[in-house]
């Protein structure tokens, strides 16, 4: 039976003095939908790995973990592997074979299912997840979001009773994230699968969760329902920025409990609209809410988010400046048998821009960034740096002016400690004192306590910050970032925004491919949309977000709903 119970569990990684989990006790009922949240490094991923015995980390553990009232270590290996499914934080760590079809079949083959049963499950699951067009695709050609979907489908092939998910939404576009959450909720409701999900993007999760567990420094800081979680977090300035923006806005308009009924505060646009109708006599009309309200809770927490005026001014100044980087008629396909990813793409990045590139999973955002960094070569067309084609520049010249942060931060690490990676990067950048430069950069990003840690033992958010620190040591003029907020908790995301804002003001031009609409709305001065191999929309954030259904913040949708209501 799918029922977890943790009794005073303490876990410490090798050569670490501080435990990753401390005296943790938690019971999870059959069929519950539990959301784990908390800052990066709080122990969420460690907890999920301990619940999946096959991938438990090495270290020292005390206490007991029970599944179905049986100690986890006493379960038969084959039965336990099928019973508990895990989708890891980094999808590349879970893919093991060459094509999507083989990946979906891999687990069933290892369990010795007969061919007819395998085909039935394959047909059902591929249809459920919309993977039929991708069955012959190579897994290393898929986007991050597509890989994550394949991993989830492969796990479900074994029909587990418990599903563990470590930030499954981190690499998904807004539409794909909602679709995946809908699928997971259906599995929870219709199949009775127990779902335990670690996630920083709680906007769409709080209305679905039966329970929210917030972790802090390896301990449970909150364990209860979504609405009480909201009220508890709102009372803590360091947690306010973790709340959905639509909920923060409602809390600002009417601090509890003055205008909230028993089924409030609101967690969705629909609930907020209903609450506004009930409270319309005592609240300011939503029409009078400026776009800068999007950032108000972040500003309350740390005053790091820029004002709308500064973004507009930055945009105006950038319009008169010549292109820094230009893509001229780019065509690209992975091979002659694959569909064309980019189709004659024309685009320019101006010096001083902070541009955000949106697009669905598989639309080619990562490929485009790699072309703009000179890491891939187009089949046709060219990329030019201040009018000079890449073909006429040496690799050293390109790398000295263009920095690139990959979607998978692990690719940036090559040594046994974060300090050694930073030191080597500082040496390549010509630092006078590489060791001190490395330590200064770590201090700046708040990761100095991780300098002795092996990069693979860091959390996803910590790996992301470390990779960005490595990239910035070369002091690039143009910084290309592929999903930089992936895996970051809300407070760390604010710190990242502050660092990027600082280097942007110092003259670094930024181009960021992301699915994080709210981060883009807070910081960018230009938004572009990649679709069908071309840039189909390009403009200032406010004009870009207006009228969008998915590439829009909840507040934009609320305002649009209010404007559509007859007066």
Instruction: Write out the DSSP string of 205-230.
Output: TTTT-SEEEEEETTEEEEEE-HHHHH
pLDDT, tens digit (0-9, with 9 covering 90-100), for 477-533: 999 999 898 878 888 888 888 889 999 999 999 999 998 888 998 899 999 999 999
Whole-number pLDDT of residue 31:
92
Whole-number pLDDT of residue 480:
96
Question: What does the mean pLDDT of the chain come to?
Answer: 84
Greatest Cα-to-Cα distance within the chain, rounded to the nearest angstrom:
69
Q: Which residue stretches of 235-348 are H helix?
A: 245-253, 269-279, 296-302, 308-319
8 has pLDDT over 90: yes
Backbone angles phi, psi at 206, to 5 degrees: -55, -40
Is the backbone peptide bond immediately before 85 cis, with ω within 30 degrees of 0? no
Whole-number pLDDT of residue 507:
92
Specify whether the CB–CB gap between 545 and 551 falls below 8 A: yes
417 has pLDDT over 90: yes
Whole-number pLDDT of residue 562:
58
Residue among 40, 148, 50, 157 nearest 104 (CA): 157
Specify whether the CB–CB gap between 148 and 172 falls below 8 A: yes
27 has pLDDT over 90: yes
By percentage, how much of the chain surpasses pLDDT 90? 44
Whole-number pLDDT of residue 92:
83
pTM of the shown model? 0.74
- In terms of pLDDT, which residue wins out, 26 or 315? 26
CATH class of 4-224: alpha beta
Residue among 327, 351, 2, 45 nearest 195 (CA): 2
By percentage, how much of the chain surpasses pLDDT 70? 88
Whole-number pLDDT of residue 281:
55
- In terms of pLDDT, which residue wins out, 254 or 100? 100
| HEC sequence for 441-494 | HHHHCCCHHHCCCCHHHCCHHHHHHHHHHHHHCCCCCEEEEECCCCCCCHHHHH
| Residue 281 CA: distances (Å) to CA of 276, 278, 293, 562 | 9, 8, 21, 15
- How sure is the predictor about 314, in pLDDT bands with cuts at 50, 70 and 90? very low
pLDDT, tens digit (0-9, with 9 covering 90-100), for 316-370: 444 446 789 999 999 999 877 778 899 999 999 999 999 999 998 888 999 999 9
pLDDT, tens digit (0-9, with 9 covering 90-100), for 195-209: 999 988 788 889 999
For residue 391, what is the DSSP state? G
Taking the C-alpha atoms of residue 434 and residue 423, their distance in angstroms, rounded to an integer, is: 5
- How sure is the predictor about 282, in pLDDT bands with cuts at 50, 70 and 90? low
pLDDT, tens digit (0-9, with 9 covering 90-100), for 97-147: 889 999 999 999 988 889 899 999 999 888 888 888 889 888 888 877 788
257 has pLDDT over 70: no
Whole-number pLDDT of residue 492:
82
pLDDT, tens digit (0-9, with 9 covering 90-100), for 388-401: 999 899 888 888 89
Whole-number pLDDT of residue 356:
95
The 10 Å Cβ neighbour count of residue 346 is 12
What are the extents of the domains in the chain? 4-224, 240-304, 308-420+453-558
Whole-number pLDDT of residue 263:
67
Whole-number pLDDT of residue 565:
46
CATH superfamily for domain 308-420+453-558 = P-loop containing nucleotide triphosphate hydrolases (3.40.50.300)
Mean pLDDT throughout 227-235?
A: 86
Equal CATH topology for 4-224 and 308-420+453-558:
yes
For residue 525, what is the DSSP state? S
For residue 322, what is the DSSP state? P
């Amino acid at each position: 039976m799918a029922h977890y119970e943790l009794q005073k569990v303490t876990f410490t990684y090798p050569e670490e003095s501080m435990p990753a989990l401390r005296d943790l006790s938690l019971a999870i009922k059959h069929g519950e939908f539990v959301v784990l949240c908390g800052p990066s490094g709080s122990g969420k991923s460690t907890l999920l790995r301990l619940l999946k015995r096959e991938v438990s980390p090495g270290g020292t553990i005390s206490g007991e973990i029970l599944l179905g009232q049986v100690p986890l270590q006493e379960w038969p290996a084959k039965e336990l592997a099928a019973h508990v499914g895990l989708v890891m934080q980094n999808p590349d760590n879970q893919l093991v074979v060459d094509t999507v079809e083989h990946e979906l079949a891999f687990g069933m083959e290892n369990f010795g299912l007969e061919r007819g049963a395998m085909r039935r499950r394959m047909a059902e699951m591929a249809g459920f997840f919309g993977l039929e067009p991708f069955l012959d695709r190579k897994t290393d050609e898929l986007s991050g979001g597509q890989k994550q979907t394949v991993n989830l489908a492969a796990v479900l092939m074994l029909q587990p009773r418990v599903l563990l998910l470590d930030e499954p939404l981190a690499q998904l576009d807004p539409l794909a994230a909602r679709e995946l959450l809908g699928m997971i909720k259906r599995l929870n409701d219709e199949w009775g699968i127990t779902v335990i999900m670690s996630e920083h993007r709680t906007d769409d999760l709080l209305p679905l969760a039966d329970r929210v567990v917030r972790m802090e420094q390896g301990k449970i800081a909150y364990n209860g329902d979504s609405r009480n979680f909201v009220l508890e977090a709102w009372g803590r300035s360091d947690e306010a920025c973790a709340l959905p923006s639509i909920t923060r806005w409602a809390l600002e308009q009417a601090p509890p409990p003055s205008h909230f009924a028993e089924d409030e505060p609101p967690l969705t646009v629909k609930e907020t609209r209903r609450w506004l109708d009930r409270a319309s006599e005592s609240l300011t009309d939503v029409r009078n809410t400026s776009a800068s309200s999007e950032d108000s809770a972040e500003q309350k927490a740390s005053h790091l988010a820029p004002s709308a005026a500064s973004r507009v001014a930055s945009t105006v100044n950038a319009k008169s400046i010549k292109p820094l980087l230009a893509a001229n008629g780019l065509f690209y396909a992975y091979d002659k048998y694959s569909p064309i990813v980019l189709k004659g793409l024309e685009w320019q990045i101006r010096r001083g821009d902070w541009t955000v590139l949106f697009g669905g999973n598989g639309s080619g955002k990562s490929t485009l960034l790699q072309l703009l960094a000179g890491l891939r070569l187009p089949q046709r067309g060219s990329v030019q740096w201040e009018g000079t084609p890449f073909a006429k520049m040496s690799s050293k010249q390109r790398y000295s002016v263009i920095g690139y942060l990959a979607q998978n931060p692990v690719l940036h690490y090559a040594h046994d400690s974060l300090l050694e990676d930073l030191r080597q990067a500082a040496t390549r950048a010509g630092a006078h004192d590489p060791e001190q430069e490395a330590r200064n950069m770590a201090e700046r990003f708040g990761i100095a306590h991780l300098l002795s840690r092996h990069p693979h033992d860091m959390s996803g958010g910590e790996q992301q910050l470390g990779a960005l620190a490595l990239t910035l040591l070369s002091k690039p003029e143009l910084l290309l970032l592929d999903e930089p907020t992936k895996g970051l908790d809300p407070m760390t995301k604010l710190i990242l925004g502050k660092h990027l804002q600082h280097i942007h003001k110092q003259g670094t031009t930024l181009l960021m491919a992301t699915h994080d609409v709210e981060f883009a709305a807070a910081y960018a001065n230009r938004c572009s949309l990649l679709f069908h191999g071309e840039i189909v929309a390009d403009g200032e954030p406010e004009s870009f977000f207006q009228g969008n259904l998915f590439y829009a913040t909840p507040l934009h949708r609320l305002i649009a709903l209010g404007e559509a209501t007859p007066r």
